[in-house]
Amino acid sequence: MGIDIKETFQVRAPIATVWQFMLDPQRVAACMPGAVLEQVVDERTFLGAIKVKIGAITTSYKGKLQLTDVDEAAHSIRMKGEGRETSGGTAKASLASDACNTPVAVATGLSTRNTASTPMPSGTSP
């Protein structure tokens, strides 16, 4: 099963401030409900866990996140995440700015293989 999530939001801060924040995994994880940064392997590789709820489905993943492409000039970051209960996923964040606001666009693709991710018809059990 594949899920694509796209989200755009405004941050009331200059792009330089938001860019530095996006490059700090400790600060980003602290803003994500259910996310825990467990280990910094190197400046672009991180180990952690996240609890995800989509509709009636809640599951937890432990895995690795890698920053695969960091383009400072374009203020764009591409990431690849792999977790124990998924076949992996990708994410991209890009920033633009005016004097006081920075819109952040995030696109995430998630593929799941776990049967816990597949809703069961009511009245049935695994």
pLDDT at 100: 63
pLDDT tens, position by position, 35-88: 899 999 999 999 998 887 767 777 778 888 888 888 888 888 888 877 776 445
Domain count, the chain: 1
pLDDT at 77: 85
Q: Are 109 and 90 in contact (CB under 8 A)?
A: yes
Dist. CA 108–CA 45, nearest whole Å:
18
Residue 123 lies in a domain: no
Q: What CATH number does residue 25 fall under?
A: 3.30.530.20
pLDDT at 50: 82
Dist. CA 20–CA 46, nearest whole Å:
17
Domain span including residue 8: 2-117
In the 8-state DSSP scheme, what is residue 32? S
pLDDT at 99: 54
pLDDT at 107: 72
